[in-house]
Each structure stands twice: as structure tokens, then as C-alpha cells.
């Protein structure tokens, strides 16, 4: 499935925002949450390997977007489909197919394993929401990167 123009635009906006230091805490591009890997330019390691044969993280949960990366080492060229939930309610389904150089450099398949999803409008209602990312068709929940909030409250 081709990358939509808005997905590419959101990727660049995210890259430019993080690169400019606009966030209060810059997350490593695809690190495993260990403090020794939280420096800019940190790369994914085998320590990010998770039970179930998947590797990855839910890296950002904000009122603007939900993003992270995931891949299956047994299927290095296959993008995975991610279901995004608010508690037990399905919010959106997206594909982890966007390219990231740091994933390629870390030998994570072809590097096309990132997902970025605009935060759905139903979350923007002033109430707290617990966001989870699950590999579609499995019970595997992506762990949160250290610093990613466990819930968000977005104003309408």
C-alpha cells in the first residue's frame, strides 16, 4: 500500500519538531527506553525484542498523533497492521510501513516499520483516554517507550 502524502507530511513535521527540540523531552528515535540509550541518535537494539516475535514501541501518545514502530524479525520486509485502542474501544487501524533510517541502520528489516496516526477526534473531548497499540490479529501490545504517557486528556 503506498504511503499517503499526509503520512509523509506528518513524518516530516514530527522529525522537524523533535529535531528543533520543541518537545520537553526528546525521545530516542527507536530506543528501548534504557537511560543509556536516550541520547539523540540512539538506535534500536536486540534488547527491544519482545515476547511473541515482535520488536517495537509505542513512542508517542499526544493530542496530535500516536506513533511508534514494530516489526517481526521472522518477516523482515512485511509491514504489520496496528490497532489503536482507547481502553477496549478500537479507535483506528494503521500500517507500520513508514521508513526510518535509524531502523534500517539497526538492521530492522527494510526500515519501513514506523506508524504515525493522527489522534482521532473522539479522543478530543476533555476526558482522560488510555491509548494502546496492538499488532492486529494478536494479543501483543506494544510497550510504551519510557516517557510516553499512559493516558492523555485532549481538549475539544
Print pLDDT tens along the chain (156 aa): 444 433 444 444 443 333 333 332 233 444 443 333 322 333 444 334 445 589 999 999 999 999 999 999 999 999 999 999 999 999 999 999 999 999 999 999 999 999 999 999 999 999 999 999 999 999 899 999 998 888 999 999
Q: Of 2.60.40, 1.10.287, 3.30.420, 3.40.30, which CATH number belongs to 57-156?
A: 2.60.40
Q: Is the pTM of this model over 0.85?
A: no
Domain map of the chain by residue range?
57-156
Q: What is the DSSP string of 43-65?
A: ---GGGEETTTEEEEEEEE-SSE
Beta strands in the chain (DSSP E): 49-50, 54-61, 65-71, 80-86, 89-96, 98-99, 112-118, 128-129, 131-135, 152-153
Amino acid at each position: 500500500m503506498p504511503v499517503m502524502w499526509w503520512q509523509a507530511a506528518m513524518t516530516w513535521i514530527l522529525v522537524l519538531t523533535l529535531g528543533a527540540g520543541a518537545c520537553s523531552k526528546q525521545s530516542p528515535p527507536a530506543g528501548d527506553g534504557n537511560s543509556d540509550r536516550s541520547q539523540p541518535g540512539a538506535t534500536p537494539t536486540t534488547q527491544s525484542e519482545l515476547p511473541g516475535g515482535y520488536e517495537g514501541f509505542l513512542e508517542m501518545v499526544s493530542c496530535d498523533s500516536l506513533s511508534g514502530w514494530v516489526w517481526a524479525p521472522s518477516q523482515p520486509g512485511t509491514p504489520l497492521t496496528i490497532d489503536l485502542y482507547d481502553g477496549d474501544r478500537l479507535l483506528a487501524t494503521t500500517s507500520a510501513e513508514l521508513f526510518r533510517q535509524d531502523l534500517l541502520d539497526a538492521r530492522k528489516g527494510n526500515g519501513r516499520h514506523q506508524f504515525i496516526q493522527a489522534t482521532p477526534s473522539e479522543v478530543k473531548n476533555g476526558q482522560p483516554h488510555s491509548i494502546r497499540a496492538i499488532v492486529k490479529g494478536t494479543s501483543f501490545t506494544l510497550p510504551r517507550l519510557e516517557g510516553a504517557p499512559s493516558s492523555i486528556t485532549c481538549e475539544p
